[in-house]
Amino acid sequence: MKRTGRKKEWSILVFCAFLVGVFPPILFLFDKPVLIGGFPLSFLYLFGFWAVMIAFIAIGARRRLVPELATDDVTNTTAVADVSERGRSDE
Amino acid sequence: MSSGLVLSVSFLYLGLLFAIAHYVDSRAGIKKILSRNPYIYTLSIAVFCTSWTFYGSVGRAATTGLDFLPIYLGPTLVFVLWSFVWIKIIRICKQHRITSIADFIASRYGKRSALGGLVTIIAVVGTTPYISLQLKSIATSFRILITSSGGLLPTQPIEPIFFIDSTLIVAIALALFAILFGTRHIDASEHHEGLVAAIAFESVVKLIAFLTVGGFVTYGVFNGFTDIFQRASVDPELADLFTVSRGSGYSLWMTMTLLSMAAIICLPRQFYITAVENVEEDYFRKATWLFPTYLLVINLFVLPIAIGGRLAFAGTPADADMFVLTVPLYYGHEFIALFAFLGGLSAATSMVIVAAIALSTMVCNDLVMPLLLRWRVLNVNKNDDLTGLLLTIRRTSIFLILVLGYGYYQFASESYSLVTIGLVSFAAAAQFAPAIIGGIFWKNATFGGALSGLLFGFLVWVYTLLLPSFAQSGWLPISFIDQGPFDLWWLKPYALFGLEGYDRLTHALFWSIGANVGAYWLVSLLSQQTAIERIQAKLFVDVFGYSENASDSRYWRGSVTTSDLQQLVGRFVGVKRVAQSFEDYSREKGIAIKKNMVVDAALLDYAEKLLAGSIGSATARVMIGSIVKGEIVGLDEVYRILDETSQVIEYSHRLEEKSTELEYATTQLQMANDRLKELDSMKDDFLSMISHEFRTPLTSLRAFGEILQDNPNVSPEERKQFLGIIVNESERLTRLIEQLLDLAKMEAGRMDWLLEEVDVPSSIKEALAALNLLLKEQNIDLTLDFPEHIPLIQADRDQLIQVMINLVSNAIKFCDQDNGKINVRVSFEKESLCVTVEDNGEGIPVSLEEKIFDRFHQSQIGGAEKPQGTGLGLAICREIISFLGGKIWAENGKDGGAKFSFTLPVPVKSSPKIRQLT
């Protein structure tokens, strides 16, 4: 499996966000015995937050459609485009 | 419900499992489809959800509210870090043919059997309560189901069936299943597709069963989620269940989260099913979010069922752990209850089967085999087949593990709820976390550190969680808990060293993990790694660096013949399989293996790994060592090579970067060189041209001079004419030289500029006046196009006129010979003035639009032999315009002629003086 640094940064971000979200003091904000739309607030928050985090994991685990080499090519062509743009503005 | 019905359904279900496992194992096609599938893999990981989840979560929710959730949030948190943790562990397991968590830890810290044995003991002791929990849930649910009738719930325990406790029957049946499907292969690192498929099927059953009960309670008994929550909110006691903690702090919540994070990696069965049974690393891409989704879905209905149970059994004592079963029974839906029972059965059986298999491998490879070796029961020089012995050990240990679980159930588990027992187990498994996580990220962790960390952590766990549970069951005096042993208050197991105010779990985890990490860390720093430890540490921590060029750990140096080696491995792995493996090896490497050949290090390494798959890495190393003569010399050398390899990899990375840089520089140089060559040839052309230009006027000067010198009788008219020519030619020469000097000055920045306010149209007209004669001669139609108000600009008037003269004389030269037309236009935009000179000649080739402004560049006109002009005019124009802050460029006009334009900045009205100063 090709290992890229981006995925790691993303997973660290999601991990930290997750940990902060389910630990106090954030948890404390939502941990109240009140009903919102017929659902307990903490029930809604915990399951909702959990689901969002799972979605984030899924985003992080997607296979990269553009392989590494192809992205290099793209930057090269933009570099070329830059040069030609500069050339044009010189006229 | 009759016990006959429940029993037959249960055994039919187990029979179905057998059928699935057998079917998958026996059909190669199906095997491939089902084993090469990330969904099956994900479902098999869901073995995490045991009867604890199925029954215990509801029980927990019915008593303390939402704090059943951390057990599922923790695994999700770990799965976020799948690419750090799991992929690394899986890669290591595959490369070293790791078969269990004990093997993993033993292999990392130098393949020492002492560590593997300790891990095995901890795992067995820690898992026993967990297995007993499963047996308890099966037994309890069975009892409830067969004694209930018409909504009445049982109060008395039932009689044994055929004088045998039904739980024992279940335990034996499960042991049989595990034996049949878990010990089919000798090589424990091979995949058990049939088993995995059956476990995945169980995961589907328990999910559907739980959702059925949840749907029934939520929508069948009540009118959806909001209805249940609404009713509960009326009762303050039930409304408390809506929260995580009723003001009692969040320490338990956080402890449970951390604990379950450790458990998802360290529970022997989770490690086994996730890492050892993984077929393809890439499956993790799906599993990493599918498994948390499974956990989320199975937990959705926990709170509604718990509240439904509390509402149904309000006022009467009822076991909240069994609400999943008793709530449908209470409302008279026996078949839903039966389905729920099946779900619970599937949850329990899957855990017991996988745990028993994982533990039996550990017991056999890391506990029994090393002991047999030590006691010299196995005569390694003998030539008997030991595969049968290996299988017997594994089968016996499966059986014993279940008996142990049953024993714990009989004696201790009655006084505890399901979740409490489970958490005790989790806390034991968590002791592996420092050794595993430290082992894959910290190279300097030593065998001594791991051993002492595990030992201390385990002892504290026994003291703070296991022994008190024995005391509560009556095995130890209860004063052990209340007053501490020998009345020593600071040794009270639930308040060690006087630490009070936390729940028992947080308390136990704090002390045990504290002791574990402390010892692991401290001893690691104080002790030295042996060479093999260093090798293994490097191979584990840098596993991704060595993936491509595997088998770097060839430390065997001694000599042994192929037949000896094959014989040894064959005794443990099976003769046929070894022959096949060796054949594969020789084909892959393209070498012929002969019987009496002395084996090289690579083949020895291959054989060791083959052996490790069957008997664990520690034992495998000892076995290979026993037949290799000359022992393992040069471990330090191996380490050095290993170290060098990683350095070489790094070095080659840097080299690659350097070479790309170099390549870039080379192209740049190439381009510069081409340009220089071009300039050089242009200079040569220019020199030849300029000498020609100089010679022509010089020749005529000399010729007319000689005529005047030699012929004193030249008529005055002629003399005047000749002198006129001499003066003209001298002027031309002077002009040429002046131009050259000007250009050189401008380029060197030594030109004296006289900046003043200039009226552009008048300058242009002055320039055109100077060219008037030429225009007339060539009969060229000149048109001017000036707007009315043109602002004054800051410029050097003479130089501006020079520019115009150069451009217009260029246009005269290049415009249509017969019908020449030149248009001079001035336009004015916000901040700049644009002057355009357009002719109707042949235009400029696009490729030359830039080059035309270079020095010495001369354009050929329509087949003329030699270029006209000095090739300096446009270069001078560009220098002047750039100095004045404008731009000059050439393009082709609409009608095909050349079009030269230049801009000049218009000073901002308010600050003309500033402009002047610059």
Q: Residue A64's pLDDT is what? A: 63
Contact A47 B230 (CB under 8 A): no
Q: Residue B451's pLDDT is what? A: 94
* Cis bond upstream, residue A25 (ω within 30): yes
B634 Rama sector, left if φ>0, alpha if ψ -120 to 50, beta otherwise? left
Q: What are phi and psi of B102, to 5 degrees?
A: -65, -40
pLDDT tens readout for residues B268-306: 999 999 998 888 888 888 899 999 999 999 999 999 999
d(CA B151, CA B554) in angstroms, rounded, equals 69
d(CA B903, CA B826) in angstroms, rounded, equals 10
Q: Which residue of B has its CA nearest to A45?
A: B243
Predicted complex ipTM exceeds 0.90 = no
Strand partners, B561: B598
B76 chain-A contacts, CB cut-off 8 A: 18, 50, 53-54, 57
In DSSP notation, B9-39 reads HHHHHHHHHHHHHHHHHH-HHHHHHHHS-HH
Stretches where chain B sits below pLDDT 50 are 150-163, 549-552, 631-633, 863-867, 910-918
Contact A22 B257 (CB under 8 A): yes
In DSSP notation, B179-242 reads HHHHSS-S-TTS--HHHHHHHHHHHHHHHHHHHHHHHIIIIIISSHHHHHHHHHHHSHHHHGGG
d(CA B466, CA B373) in angstroms, rounded, equals 32
Q: State whether residue B900 is helix, strand or coil.
A: strand
- Contact between B279 and B36 under an 8 Å Cβ cutoff? The reply is yes
Q: Residue B34's pLDDT is what? A: 67
Chain A: which residues have CB within 8 Å of chain B? 1, 3, 7-8, 11-12, 14-15, 18-19, 22-24, 27-28, 31-35, 37-43, 46-47, 50-51, 53-55, 57-58, 60-63, 90-91
Q: Residue B344's pLDDT is what? A: 92
Using CB atoms, pick whichever of B87, B226, B544 lies closest to residue A39.
B226
In DSSP notation, B667-727 reads HHHHHHHHHHHHHHHHHHHHHHHHHHHHHHHHHHHHHHHHHHHH-TT--HHHHHHHHHHHH
Q: Residue B298's pLDDT is what? A: 93
pLDDT tens readout for residues B446-499: 999 999 999 999 999 998 888 887 777 777 777 777 777 777 777 778 877 877
B854 CB neighbour count, 10 Å cutoff: 16
d(CA B740, CA B273) in angstroms, rounded, equals 86
In DSSP notation, B587-650 reads HHHT----TTPBPPHHHHHHHHHHHHHHH-HHHHHHHHHHHSBT----HHHHHHHHHHHHHHHH
Encode chain A (91 residues) as per-residue pLDDT tens digits: 445 567 788 889 999 999 999 888 888 888 877 888 888 888 899 999 999 999 999 988 887 644 444 333 333 333 333 333 333 333 3
B552 CB neighbour count, 10 Å cutoff: 17
Contact B80 A18 (CB under 8 A): yes
- Contact between B205 and B346 under an 8 Å Cβ cutoff? The reply is yes
Contact A39 B229 (CB under 8 A): yes
Contact A43 B544 (CB under 8 A): no
Q: Residue B641's pLDDT is what? A: 59
Test the A interface: residue of B289, B441, B544, B899 with most A CBs within 10 Å:
B289
Q: What residue has token string 């056999």?
A: B364
d(CA B36, CA B792) in angstroms, rounded, equals 82
Q: Residue B915's pLDDT is what? A: 40
Tokens of B630: 């000359």
Contact B288 A24 (CB under 8 A): no
B130 CB neighbour count, 10 Å cutoff: 26
The residue type found at B488 is L
Q: Residue B486's pLDDT is what? A: 77
Q: Which residue of B has its CA nearest to A63?
A: B285
- Contact between B333 and B352 under an 8 Å Cβ cutoff? The reply is no
CB neighbours of B598 closer than 8 A, spacing ≥ 6? B559, B560, B561
Q: Residue B340's pLDDT is what? A: 92
Q: CA B840: distance to chain centroid?
A: 65
Whole-model pTM: value is 0.68
Task: Number of A to B CB contacts under 8 A, please give it.
Answer: 116
Contact B76 A39 (CB under 8 A): no
Test the B interface: residue of A57, A75, A86 with most B CBs within 10 Å:
A57
B652 Rama sector, left if φ>0, alpha if ψ -120 to 50, beta otherwise? alpha
d(CA B618, CA B620) in angstroms, rounded, equals 5
d(CA B434, CA B457) in angstroms, rounded, equals 10
**Residues B500, B504, B505, B508: what is their CA dihedral angle, to the nearest 10 degrees?**
60
